Amino acid sequence: MTAGFLPRTHQNPDWAVTDLLRAKGERTVSVVLPALNEQDTVGAVVASVRPHLGELVDEIVVADSGSTDDTVARAIDAGARVVHRDDVLADLPTWPGKGEVLWRSLAATSGDIVVFLDSDLVDPDSSFVQGLLGPLLLADGVHLVKGFYQRPLRLETEAANTGGGRVTELVARPVLAALRPALSGVVQPIGGEYAGTREFLESVPFAAGYGVDIGLLLDAEQRYGTDALAQVNLGVRKHRNRSLLQLGVMARQLLGTIFGRCGVDAADAPVFTQFTQVGGEWLPETSEVFVADRPPMREVLARTQ
């Protein structure tokens, strides 16, 4: 292991499917893809998981946040079961955000292990699933596995080999180094490809928005320590790159989640102001930033039984 990484860092995972199946035993695995208007990519992501269905994977679920394009139809055609956010825990009014649909997906799935894959992946690889499952199936005491990867940055008509993950490098990593240095060895702290035990995932709150990924990482380290974390090299991850304005809103949500988990007092300001130039003038542009947590799913399900 190279100094600086998490103790359980796997640079060249080469676990054979037969070994993983033997270790899996009677445990079950759910793969969940959160989706909102991802018609161009969701089918290929589902298709990348399908070779494992019936063996390593027991169910593939696309958790839809209210898509208005052909996301649902293409997910079904590719072989996934689609659950609509509003139909899960239907008595609870829905909140906006990725974390909300991931949280609700726990109530719509049954796997002892849950794998989350973003549905905007380009050229997804079927090895992502076995890579993320390896440490959970083959090692004792692991509760959360994060994927890491090279992230090309697409610049209009060309792609640079690196440069994706701008929020990671400019926000998440420096803040973790300052407030939770034990997590400095995580390569992709806000990456959307990860897997966890249901035992862990149902026991902690979920940030409703983009803070969900790093919130789970912070909670896992707080609860179990870094020995319960693992990270696996998944090679290359290509996805849609967002504008700086969109990334600014994402960064504000991340900071809200990080500060909350680390006990840092911060202003509870729901409006985030950015500036754009229009006709030679700089004008303010405001966005509502929703920072809130859903309670542990175990508590919610206990109340409904």
Give the residue among 53, 28, 9 at the shortest CA–CA distance from 147.
Answer: 9
The structural domains of the chain, with segments of one domain joined by +, span 9-304
Q: What is the pLDDT of residue 36?
A: 96
Give the span between the Cα atoms of 210 and 257, in whole angstroms. 9
Average pLDDT, the chain: 92
- At residue 160, does pLDDT exceed 90? no
pTM (two decimals): 0.92
Q: What is the pLDDT of residue 285?
A: 93
Q: Could you report the per-residue pLDDT of 70-85, keeping only the tens digit for each?
A: 999 999 999 999 999 9
Which residue type occupies 86?
Answer: D
Q: How big is the CA angle at 88 (ends 83 and 94), to the nearest 5 degrees?
A: 110
Contact 245, 276 (CB under 8 A): yes
Q: What is the pLDDT of residue 240?
A: 65
Annotation: CATH topology of 9-304: Spore Coat Polysaccharide Biosynthesis Protein SpsA; Chain A (3.90.550)
Contact 120, 41 (CB under 8 A): yes
Q: What is the pLDDT of residue 164?
A: 47
Give the span between the Cα atoms of 297 and 107, in whole angstroms. 8
| 3-state helix vs strand vs coil in the chain, percent to 5 | 40, 25, 35
Give the span between the Cα atoms of 255 and 35, in whole angstroms. 23
Confidence class of residue 159 from pLDDT cuts 50, 70 and 90? very low
